Amino acid sequence: MSRFLTATVVGLLLAGTLALGAMAADDWPFWQRWFARVPAITGFGGNANAIPDLRSDFGGEAAPLTRRQPEPRLVAPLRQADAWMADRNSDAFLVWHDGALVFEHYYRGDAATQRPAGAMAKSLVAIMVGRAIREGAIAGLDAPVADALPEWRNDERNRIRWRDLLAMHAGLAWYRQETSPFSDFQRIIIGSDYQPRALALPAVAPPGEVFDYSAWTYDIAGLALARAGNAPYEDLVDRWLTPPLGLGPMRIYVDRDGGNVHANCCLYGRADDWVRLGALIADEWVAPRLLPDGFVAEMRKPGPDRANYGLGIWLGSPYEARRPIASTRNPYPTPVKSVIEQSEPFAADDVMIFEGVGQTKTWIIPSRRLVIVRFGSAPQDWDDAMVPNLLIRALQ
């Protein structure tokens, strides 16, 4: 081997070693995760939204739900709904009515399977804020979030209330969606400490005025909850929700071992846990024991810039044939452009929805004491009103 070739190889090895050292000093877990995502984010296959394999295990041993046979008037509609769900990439379909689970079908896995809830995790955050208020850790929905976040106390973000965070009217900026490993967007998603970037997001609109469907808003809510409750977010779930509701084992993405959870998403748990959470919202006699008086009514109030979104929950009215996720009057860039297809208005005006990913969701209809849970991927011919209206009309 010539001296020139030898020098070149040694130089490359030295450069590679220095590069690896720089990556390790920078944030080695981030680089491992980013390289695992490279094929997808550069268009060569894979999953750009793949979640790193760091999760915090919490929850408990799932308490048995009361079960009974459905009322005769529900039998045929449930059979029709089951067939419809089976033809549309469903993994699980459960129906709770009047205090009991009356139907469950697991097309893939079984009752104990931990399933990805996606953005339904945001609804859990909203419920946790209610529990924190009930427990005295937060003064109320109109209290400033800066009470828990000193980073916000000396600038215009000190006007942001818990209500603004949960309604996605906080007025905070987004990190522009980019694939570069040096971008703030990639670092906040898969970095090993996302907290500094999340809490550095500046205000770009007055709080309470502009709707923006934002993942960071709910990550920030999770961080603030942890500080207000003086414990990790997942520990607060175990303290305030797991025992009274009988929630089963759960996992959620954390940025590093012992770090912060991404409370906005990436929660895995049993399908029937969402029956329990939906029933908490649907059952007026249960909610006051765990949530402050009137909290569910506050959750159902639409925001000033989004008639279909309350506090951590989507509202079934007013009707939109194509319900957009992002605001159409957003003054800053947002990567969320999804719409939910719906052929007709809901047959009840009090429908609320925990909205997940791929049409994974929980419909809650308090007037019928009805909760419907569906897990699965998104089919081409989805109709958000189909199954709820079948069951609502059967109960009229």
DSSP string, 352-375: EEEE-STT-EEEEEGGGTEEEEEE
Contact 334, 214 (CB under 8 A): yes
State the CB neighbour count (10 A cutoff) for residue 195: 17
Q: Which two tokens stand for residue 161?
A: 């209330």
Helix axis angle for 215-229 and 233-240, nearest 10°, is 70
CATH node for 55-394: 3.40.710.10
Q: Does residue 98 sit in helix, strand or coil?
A: coil
Average pLDDT over residues 17-35: 64
* Residue 334 identity: T
Residue by residue, DSSP assigns 149-211 as: -GGGTTSGGGG-BHHHHHTT---B--PPP---TTSHHHHHHHSS--HHHHHHPPB-S-TTT--
The dihedral of CA 127, 213, 313, 107: what is its sign?
negative
Cα 311 to Cα 141: distance, rounded to the nearest angstrom: 10
Q: Per residue in 351-387, pLDDT tens?
A: 999 999 889 999 999 999 999 999 999 888 999 999 9
Q: What share of the chain is helix, strand, coil (3-state, %, to 5)?
A: 40, 15, 45
DSSP letter (8 states) at residue 44: S
Q: Which residue type is seen at 197? A: R
Listed by start position, the domains of the chain span: 1-50, 55-394
- Of 248 and 54, the one with more pLDDT: 248
In tens, the pLDDT along 249-288 reads 999 999 988 899 999 988 999 999 999 999 999 985 566 6
Residues 6+ apart with CB under 8 A from 47: 37, 40
Q: Percent of the chain at pLDDT above 90? A: 69
214 to each of 2, 167, 325, 333, how far by Cα in Å? 57, 10, 10, 11
Q: 23-27, 254-258, 343-347, 358-362: which range is least confident on average? A: 23-27
User: Which residues neighbour 180 within 8 Å (Cβ) at sequence distance 6 or greater?
Assistant: 186
Cα–Cα distance measured from residue 155 to residue 160, given in angstroms and rounded to the nearest whole number? 11
The whole-model pTM stands at 0.89
